[in-house]
Every structure is written in C-alpha cells, then in structure tokens.
Chain A
Amino acid sequence: MILEAKGIIKRFGGIVALNKVDVSVAEDEILGIIGPNGSGKTTFFNVISGVYKPDEGSVIFMGKNITGRPPHIIAKMGIARTFQVVRPFPSMTVRENILIGAYFSGKHKSSSYIDILVDKILKLTELSSKADLPAKALNLPEKRRLEIARALALEPKLLLLDETLAGLTPAEIDHALEMIKKAKSEMGLTIIIVEHIMRAIMKISDRIIVFSNGIKIAEGTPSQVASDIKVIEAYLGKPIQGEG
C-alpha cells in the first residue's frame, strides 16, 4: 500500500465533510473516486495533500506519517496534485510553470537533468509548441494539461487528479486519458483520479471508491460499483415507488 488513509474526519463548523473515511491505494494502481457534488472528494484530496489538516485520523504515505504536514513537505515527499479549477501561474510561461515543480521537488538535480525533464514533460503533455507562452494565454484543455505537467515536474510517486476532464469534449477526454496512461507508464506513477464523467473514470480506473455525504459507500472494480444499488441511489435518489 503506497497510501493508507484511516479514520479521516474533517469538520467545517457544523458540517462533517469527511466522516471516518478509510482509503488504501496500492502502488501502481489507478484508483477512481466518484460521488455526487459535496460528497467530500475534493476535501479528501485537500487532506492528503496537506491543504487541510484532518480533525481525526491518519494518513500514511510510503510508510511515513504525513498527517497534517504542510503542503510543501508533502509535495517534496512525492505527492503531487492538480486543482479542480485550474491554477496555473498566469504571468509565467508554460516552461516556467513546469520548472517550478522541477526546482522545488526537493530532489537535488543538475540543471541539465531538469532541462531534459521539462522537455520530456512538455512532449508528454503536448505543450512543446506553447512552451514560451504565458500560461494565461492558453485555452482550457491546454491549461488542464499544464496543471498535469506542473504536477509531473515534481516527479511524484502519487498523482492526485481533481476533475481534470471537466469541460472537455469527448474527443479531448479520450485524448487526455491516453496522455494520463502514457505519463503513468513513463514516469512510474500511482494515480488517484476524482471525476464526474462516468465513462472516463470507469474506463481508466483499476478500482473505484464511491463517496456520498462524506463516507465511503462502495468500493470495488468499475463493473462491481456500477451495479451497486447504493451507488445508483446516491446519484439518482431513491427509486420512485413501484419502479426499480
């Protein structure tokens, strides 16, 4: 298990966003997390990446306890994430954006290594032609790729993708999924992906976890989860009397 989150509880005022959540991630797998809006998916990411400190519970990453540690330390330890609403560094060029991750990954690498790494990532995310443009000049799919590129520059062991596919056309989605798989194999990543787009996450995940109202209501292979009645109810509400 590369990541083990046990008994995570996170409260905001009176709301319990995560209620005794247990999630384990095996090395090299792609774990998908789905659930209705407000079910706690992004909160979970924020807890893992250190943006939030959980009120209770622990997060163990590669044998080390990372619970409540600051984001930059967790990044250096090997967890990288993207944001649901993209947050590139707008005035910096695409290349500079990616360089940030490379510089601050905590691994001491020579500048030639970094140059090679950045070029490899640019190629992987198909941003080589836009390398010297400011990030704010990119369109949405390109910005999404930049989010991923930036995260890859940290050379992480675990990549958290937060609704990276929202707003993309079906063709762009397939393209993005291919890119993610390629990045995974070329850089040796374990991935947790949060998504709303069902067919995408069913297609790419090895295993899926379903959140609803801050708790895990189902876990299993994509086909197992798809036929799980609780999952259907969570998304569609209880069936109308006399049907289903």
Chain B
Amino acid sequence: MINLKDLTTLSIIGFLVISLLILFIGSQSLIAFFLTLLELLILAYSINIITGLTGYVDFGHAVFYGIGAYTTAFLIVNINTTSVTPYLFSLIGGLVAAFFALLIGAPVLRLKGAYFAIATLSVSEAVKVIVSNISALGGSYGIPLARYVSYDVVSAYLAMWLTLLFTIVLAIWISNSKFGYGLRAIKEDEIAANVMGINTSLYKLMAYVLSALVAGVVGGISGILYVYVSTEYFKVDISVKMLVSMMLGGQGTILGPLIGAILYYVIQYTLVTSYPFLHLLIFGTILIIIVLFIPEGLVGIIKRRFKQLKLR
C-alpha cells in the first residue's frame, strides 16, 4: 500500500529525472515549456518556506525575485568578465535579496496575518516604483543585457534545474529538521511556540531570509535567460502566481509546491492560449476557490483519500 511519503519521493525523483531528460531529448518548444515551469516550481518552493511552513502570507515575494534579477544584471553590465559564467552573479543576486530580507524582516515580521500581507505588498510595490525612478538601474526601461550575454537556453535550463534540485533538497532538509518543526509550531500557534522554547523571532527571520535567497537566485537566472531585466520582475502578478501555485498544491508540504505549480502552469498555459486576456480572471477564480473550498490544497485532498483507504 503506497503512502504519502513514498508518493512524494517518487514524484520528486520522477519529475527531476524527466525534466533533466527533456533537455537532451525534448523539442525546442517542450524545453521552453519546461523552462518556465521550472522557474515557477522554484518560486513555489521558495514561498513555501515563509508562507506554507511558517504561516506568514507573503504578498510581495516578487520583490526578492526582482532584486536578484537587478543585482545580477547590474553586475553583468558593470563587471566585465568573459572567463566567469554570468550565472555566478545570480548567486550574488540571491545573497543581496537575502540581505534585503534580513533588513526588512525584523520590523515586518512583527506584524500578524493580514497586516504582514499588506506590508509585504507595500514593500514590493514601493521598491518597484523606486527602482523605476533610478536611472542607474535603467529607470522605467530596465537593463537590456543583449550586449553582454547571449540567449542560451541550454545553460539557463541547467542552471534552473540545479537550482530546483538545491531548493528541493533544502525543503526536505528543513522539513525533517528541528528548524522545520519550530516553523510548523509557529504556524500553528506562535505564542505557544514561543513559550515552549522556540525563538520565534529568529526562526521567522531565518525562514524569510532563506526564501528570499532562493527567489533571488532564480530571479538572476531569469534575467540572464530573458536577456533583459525590468520592473516587470516586481509585478504583483508574480507574487500571486507563486502564492496560488503553492496553495493549490498544499501549503507546508514537500509535494504541494510540485503538483500545485505543475497544475497551475498547465491550466494557465492551456487557458491563456485559448483566452489570452483572461489570465487574471483565472488566477482570481482559482484563488477564491482554494481559499473557500480547499485550503489545504491538493495534498490535503490526497491525504484524506489515503485516510479513507486506510480505514477500509
């Protein structure tokens, strides 16, 4: 009898293997399809750390994605190296995003629930407006990278895949560690967790910083992939996309972001090709359905099915 843990392990290994193979045997369009999917997956796992596990709903997570992208682009433009792969800069992008999370995390994480969501949204939007007013960062036009980097799907794909691998390993490690336990307790009841010996302020901040690190790195990779970085990277659409993907799959689980992002991406892909101007409507409807009817996401439904099967 298969259980949830086995299903999770199987799905993850299966997906990682398949997605790697796609690079070698897939068609151009299939590779492009998976490339965007990989990006969404990493972002879903990223927000899972602060929102899914810790329970702090981050409405402005795209800010880290954008900071990673801008840092990487800025470095590429200003540091002339042909010997080093530009993807190294995306790692620095991740570190800068993490640092930013460290700075704003302390005050912002003191807010609870809805106020935290509004605050993170405000941060994200404020940064977007501020960046578009800084000429050194390209102002409202952004930073084109065509002169410095060539469009290379293969290396971008590998970079994404490796980042996803690292992110999943990180998710598994957190899940089984004392740290992960603490985060779950914080999500369930923060005051009780505090009184039980958990340093809630520190743990929350660590979760925030880690999630920012991941988002920043993938932002950098995307910047290189698309050969262009602009304030579009800060758009609330991106924040919502990863949030909804994670929630759809199942918050705080390891399988959740995987199936949530895949399902979300497939829905968006098929519907947007048929109805190109309705993607906001789709996001919105899915979000409402999830919140009202399936708050634990698909994994929650799967768990319930397993329980039913077990009782028989």
Q: So, do A and B actually touch in the complex, CB under 8 Å?
A: yes
Residues on A facing B (Cβ under 8 Å):
49-51, 70-72, 75-76, 80-81, 83, 87-92, 96, 99-101, 103-106, 150, 154
* Interface residue B199 (Cβ < 8 Å from any Cβ of A): yes
Complex CA–CA separation, A99 to B188 (angstroms):
14
Q: Name A72's contact: one of B178, B181, B189, B197 (CB within 8 Å).
A: B197
B interface SS class: helix
**Cβ of B194 and Cβ of A100 under 8 Å apart?**
no
Residues of A within 8 A of B194 (CB): 51, 70-72, 75
Known A100-B181, A103-B181: A150·B196 in contact at CB below 8 Å: yes
**Cβ of A154 and Cβ of B192 under 8 Å apart?**
no
**Cβ of B185 and Cβ of A100 under 8 Å apart?**
yes
| Nearest-Cβ distance from residue B304 to partner chain A, whole angstroms | 13
**Cβ of A51 and Cβ of B191 under 8 Å apart?**
yes
**Cβ of A154 and Cβ of B181 under 8 Å apart?**
no
Instruction: Given contacts A72-B195, A87-B191, A101-B197, list 14 more A-B pairs with CB under 8 A.
Output: A49-B195, A51-B194, A70-B201, A71-B195, A72-B198, A72-B199, A75-B196, A75-B197, A81-B195, A83-B192, A87-B189, A89-B188, A92-B184, A100-B185
Residues of B within 8 A of A87 (CB): 189, 191-192
Q: Mark B84-99, 1 if CB is under 8 A from A, else 0.
A: 0000000000000000
**Cβ of A51 and Cβ of B185 under 8 Å apart?**
no
**Nearest chain B residue, comparing its CB with the CB of A99:** B181
23 contacts between A and B (CB under 8 A): A51-B191, A70-B199, A70-B201, A72-B195, A72-B196, A72-B198, A72-B199, A72-B200, A75-B194, A80-B196, A87-B192, A88-B192, A89-B188, A89-B193, A90-B189, A92-B185, A99-B181, A100-B182, A100-B185, A101-B196, A104-B178, A105-B197, A106-B197
Complex CA–CA separation, A43 to B197 (angstroms):
20
Complex CA–CA separation, A222 to B188 (angstroms):
39
Q: Name B189's contact: one of A75, A89, A105 (CB within 8 Å).
A: A89
Please tell me the number of chain B residues within 8 Å of chain A, measured between CB atoms: 18
Q: Mark B193-218, 1 if CB is under 8 A from A, else 0.
A: 11111111100000000000000000
Residues of B within 8 A of A88 (CB): 189, 192
Q: Name B196's contact: one of A51, A90, A91, A154 (CB within 8 Å).
A: A154
**Nearest chain B residue, comparing its CB with the CB of A96:** B181
**Nearest chain B residue, comparing its CB with the CB of A91:** B188
Residues of B within 8 A of A72 (CB): 194-200
Residues of B within 8 A of A70 (CB): 194, 199, 201
Residues on B facing A (Cβ under 8 Å):
178, 181-182, 184-185, 188-189, 191-201
**Cβ of A100 and Cβ of B193 under 8 Å apart?**
yes
**Cβ of B182 and Cβ of A104 under 8 Å apart?**
yes
Complex CA–CA separation, A103 to B179 (angstroms):
10
**Cβ of A92 and Cβ of B188 under 8 Å apart?**
yes
Complex CA–CA separation, A150 to B201 (angstroms):
21
Complex CA–CA separation, A73 to B199 (angstroms):
8
**Cβ of B197 and Cβ of A76 under 8 Å apart?**
yes
**Nearest chain A residue, comparing its CB with the CB of B189:** A87
Q: Name A104's contact: one of B184, B191, B197 (CB within 8 Å).
A: B197
| Nearest-Cβ distance from residue B3 to partner chain A, whole angstroms | 14
Complex CA–CA separation, A106 to B197 (angstroms):
7
**Cβ of A100 and Cβ of B198 under 8 Å apart?**
yes
Interface-centre pick from B184, B192, B197, B198 (highest chain A CB count, 10 A):
B197
Complex CA–CA separation, A150 to B199 (angstroms):
17
Residues of A within 8 A of B197 (CB): 72, 75-76, 100-101, 104-106, 154
Residues of A within 8 A of B178 (CB): 103-104
Residues of A within 8 A of B185 (CB): 89, 92, 100
Complex CA–CA separation, A83 to B195 (angstroms):
10
Complex CA–CA separation, A83 to B198 (angstroms):
16
**Cβ of A51 and Cβ of B198 under 8 Å apart?**
no
Residues of A within 8 A of B192 (CB): 83, 87-89
Residues of B within 8 A of A90 (CB): 188-189
Residues of A within 8 A of B189 (CB): 87-90
**Cβ of B184 and Cβ of A51 under 8 Å apart?**
no
Complex CA–CA separation, A88 to B191 (angstroms):
11
Residues of B within 8 A of A89 (CB): 184-185, 188-189, 192-193
Complex CA–CA separation, A154 to B95 (angstroms):
36
Known A99-B181, A100-B181, A103-B181: A51·B188 in contact at CB below 8 Å: no
**Cβ of B198 and Cβ of A104 under 8 Å apart?**
yes
Residues of A within 8 A of B193 (CB): 89, 100
Complex CA–CA separation, A106 to B181 (angstroms):
15
**Cβ of A51 and Cβ of B181 under 8 Å apart?**
no
Residues of B within 8 A of A80 (CB): 195-196
Complex CA–CA separation, A71 to B185 (angstroms):
15
| Nearest-Cβ distance from residue A208 to partner chain B, whole angstroms | 25
**Cβ of B195 and Cβ of A51 under 8 Å apart?**
yes
| Nearest-Cβ distance from residue B75 to partner chain A, whole angstroms | 39
Complex CA–CA separation, A49 to B195 (angstroms):
7
